[in-house]
Structure 1
C-alpha cells in the first residue's frame, strides 16, 4: 500500500507517534518521526519526505510556523493534526498551505485514506500529450510542465492549489461545481467541505489575480461553483 513512500510524522505525543509509525510501516511506508518543530524542519530537509503529517500543538514552535517554514522550500503535501476543532484553526492551517486537516481523535482507516489521497495529489502528473499552455494575460499556465508563471516569474503553488487550478483551466469557460472540484482534488468523502475551496480559491487569487478582491480569471458562481476565464 505504501510502496516505500517517505512519510514524516511530527507529533509530541509519544503514544500517537508510536501508533502511526507502526501502522504506516506495516503498510509499506518509510516513516521518519519528529517530536518538535525544530527537529521536524531538520528531518524534512534531510529526508525530503513525499508527505508530512504535522501536529499543530508542538512544544517549541507553533505548527503553523513549521508549516510556513516547509512551504518556503517544498510543495510536499501536508496533513495537519490538531485536537482543536475550531474552524479558525482549520482556516489558518489551510491558509498556511496545508493540504488536509484531521482532528484528533481520528480513526486509522480514515487517516490512511486521507494520507493516500495526499500522496496521490503530490505525485500527480499530467497525461496531456504535447504542449498545453494557457495564457490568461496576467499569468500563464503550462499544463504539461505543471508550472505557472506570472510576469515571467514562476509562481509557487502547493499540490492542492495546482489540482484546483488545473481542473478549472482544463474546463475553461465552464462552470465546475463545488462537489466536482472537491471530489476530484480531495476525494468523495470531501463533497461537503466547501470551506476548503473558499480558502484555496482566495489563496490562488492572491497569487494570480492583479486585484484578488475583484478577480477576472478565477470566478465564483455563488452557491454553485467556480469558473476559469482568460479575461
Structure 2
C-alpha cells in the first residue's frame, strides 16, 4: 500500500528534499509552499499524513494546524528548527501528533511517519470491535466516534488510541512508559511530554468533572487511570 503525504514547506530546497526522500521510500508526495495551497490540496485529495512547517509565507503552521483540525483528524507532524523547543509543545497542544527537528536525517523522518501511521491504522483495526463505554463516555470503534453525554467529540488518531487504551483498562493505573510504548511506540518510552500534552487535550475535549466516570486521573509519578 502506498501512503500519501502532504508536505507544507515554504523553502523550496527543503520541499524537494522531503519529496525525494519520501518518494524514494515508496510514499506518494504532494507539496505546498503556503497555507492556502495546502488547504486547496486538502479540499480535493485525501492524505494519510501531513508534514507541516511552522514558518510559512502566508500564515504560520500553528494557525494552519488549527484550521485543519476543524474538519480533519489526519495525522500531522510539525516541522520546526532545532532551537525552537517551545514550538514542539505548542504544536502538540494544538492537535499535532508528532514533530521533527530540522536538520533531520532520513531514518528519523521515516520512523516518525511510520509511528503516526501506526496510530492512525489502529482506528481501522478497531472498526470490528464493539462499543466501549465508561460512564457517559462512549467509544464507537465501528464509526470511529467518541460520544460524551450524547455529543460527539472529535479526537485525533493519537488521542483516540490513547483514550481507547485507558478506557479498556478503566479503574487500573497505566504507567507513563506503558502508555507511551503502547500508543507512540517503544522509541518514545521516555518522552513524557507527549503523554502530558495529549492527556490535557483529551481532558479538555471530554469536559468531565474529576469525580465523573470516564475522567482521566493523574497518579503522580506513576501514570494515569480512567475513573469508574
Q: Is TM (by shorter chain) over 0.5?
A: yes
Shift in alpha-carbon separation, 1:215–1:79, aligned structure 2, 3 A: farther
Q: Which of 164, 167, 171 in structure 1 is aligned with 2:165?
A: 167
Aligned to 2:11: 13
For the residue of structure 1 that corresponds to 2:203, the secondary structure is: helix
Structure 2 Cα separation of the partners of residues 109 and 122 of structure 1: 20
CA distance in 1, matches of 2:129, 2:39: 38
- Alignment CA distance shift 1:130-1:115 (3 Å): closer
Cα displacement (A) at 1:174:
1.1
- Give secondary structure in 2 for the equivalent of 1:49: coil
Aligned with 1:83 (options 71, 81, 85): 81
Alpha-carbon spacing, 1:215–1:25, altered in 2? closer, same or farther (3 Å): farther
Partner of 1:133: 132
Query: In 1, Cα distance between the equivalents of 2:39 and 2:129?
Result: 38
Q: Deviations over 1:26-62 (max 9, x none)?
A: 1211100011111111111222111100000112111
Residue correspondence of structure 1 range 106-185 to structure 2 within 5 A: 106-124=104-122, 125-127=124-126, 131-137=130-136, 139-185=137-183
CA–CA separation in structure 2 for the residues paired with 1:50 and 1:140: 26
For structure 1, the 5+ residue unaligned runs are none
C-alpha separation between the residues in 1 aligned to 2:26 and 2:48? 14
- Rate the CA distance shift 1:4–1:20 in 2: closer, same or farther, 3 A: same
Q: Unaligned regions of 5+ residues in structure 2, if any? A: none
- Which residue of the partner structure matches residue 59 of structure 1? 57
Q: How many residues are paired up?
A: 225
1:154 & 1:17 partners in 2: Cα distance? 37
Match of 1:226, SS? strand
Matched, 1:221 2:219: yes
Quote the Cα distance in structure 2 between the aligned partners of 1:178 and 1:154: 27
Q: Distance in 1 between matches of 2:19 and 2:127?
A: 37
Q: Distance in 2 between matches of 1:23 and 1:76?
A: 21
Cα RMSD of the aligned pairs, angstroms, is: 1.7
Please report the TM-score for the alignment, with normalisation by the length of structure 1.
0.91
Q: State how far apart, in whole Å, the 1-side matches of 2:79 and 2:127 are.
A: 35
Contact 1:209 1:215 in 2 (8 A): no
8 Å Cα contact 2:128-2:141 kept in structure 1: no
Divergent runs of 4+, >6 A: none
* Residues 1:152 and 1:49: Cα distance change in structure 2 (over 3 Å): same
Q: Would the alpha carbon gap of residues 113 and 41 (structure 1) be closer, same or farther in structure 2, given more than 3 Å must change? A: same
CA deviations on 1:163-192 (whole Å, 9 max, x unpaired) are 110110111111111111111111111111
Question: Of 188, 193, 196, which aligns to 2:194?
Answer: 196
